[in-house]
Structure 1
Amino acid sequence: MTIELFDDVAWEKNGEVQELLQLKHHQQSAGSLSDMSVDLWKTLKVWLDTPAFADIGGPLLTLLTTSDCGTGTAASHLGPGSDRDPGRALELLNSAASTSTSSTTEAARLKWIKTPLSSRISMVERIRVLGGAIRIEDVETHVRNEISWALPIGQEQTFLGLFWQWWRRVALDLLQKRRERVDVLEAQQQVQVIRDMFVPDNLPTLVELNQIDEETLVQSHDAHIFVHQLRWVNVGTTHLRKAVGDYYRAVTQTTEWIDRSLIGLNELGTFEDNLVDEWERAYADMMEDLDVDADDASRENVGRELWRKLRDSTAVAVRSRYTDTFFARGKRHELADRHLIGWHPDFEDRVQTLLAERLTNGQ
Structure 2
Amino acid sequence: MECDSNYDDLNFIKQISLFNGSKRIIQQAKLNYYRACEQRIRWSNDSLLKPGELNKYDRRLIEQWEHKIGIIESHPDFINASEKDMIIYALDIYNHCHDFRNGSLPIRKNFIPSYVEHGSYQKLANELTIGWHPDYEDLMNIEDEKNIA
> Which TM-score applies when normalising by structure 1?
0.37
CA distance in 2, matches of 1:337, 1:235: 15
Partner of 2:95: 308
Larger radius of gyration: 1
Please tell me the residue identity of whatever aligns with 2:8. D
**Mean alpha-carbon deviation: is it higher for 296-305 or for 286-295?**
286-295
Tell me what 1:321 maps to.
110
State how far apart, in whole Å, the 2-side matches of 1:245 and 1:315 are. 18
Flag as ranges the 4+ runs of structure 1 deviating above 3 A: 353-356
Residue 99 (structure 2) pairs with residue 284 (structure 1) = no
SS of the residue 2:138 aligns to: helix
> What is the CA RMSD across the aligned residues, in angstroms?
2.1
Match of residue 83, structure 2, among 289, 296, 310: 296
Which residue matches 1:339? 128
Q: Is the 8 A contact 2:72 2:78 kept in 1?
A: no
Q: Encode CA deviations 1:91-113: one digit per residue, 9 max, x unaligned.
A: xxxxxxxxxxxxxxxxxxxxxxx
* Contact 1:257 1:263 survives alignment (8 Å): yes
For these two proteins, the number of residue pairs brought into alignment is 141
Deviation at 1:273, TM superposition (A): 0.7
The verdict on how the C-alpha distance between 1:269 and 1:229 changes in structure 2, with shifts beyond 3 A counting, is same
> Which one is further off, 338-347 or 264-273?
264-273
2:128 touches 2:142 (CA, 8 Å); kept in 1? no
The residue that corresponds to 1:48 in the other structure is none
Q: Which of the numbers 46, 55, 64 marks the counterpart of 1:269? A: 55
Q: Deviations over 1:215-272 (max 9, x none)?
A: xx9x821011111111101110111111011001101110011001111341111111
| 1:222 counterpart SS class | helix
The verdict on how the C-alpha distance between 1:244 and 1:344 changes in structure 2, with shifts beyond 3 A counting, is same
> Gaps (5+ residues) in structure 2?
none
1:120-159 paired onto structure 2 within 5 Å: none
- Percent of aligned pairs sharing the same letter: 23
User: Aligned-pair distance for 1:321?
Assistant: 1.6
Give the TM-score normalised by structure 2: 0.86
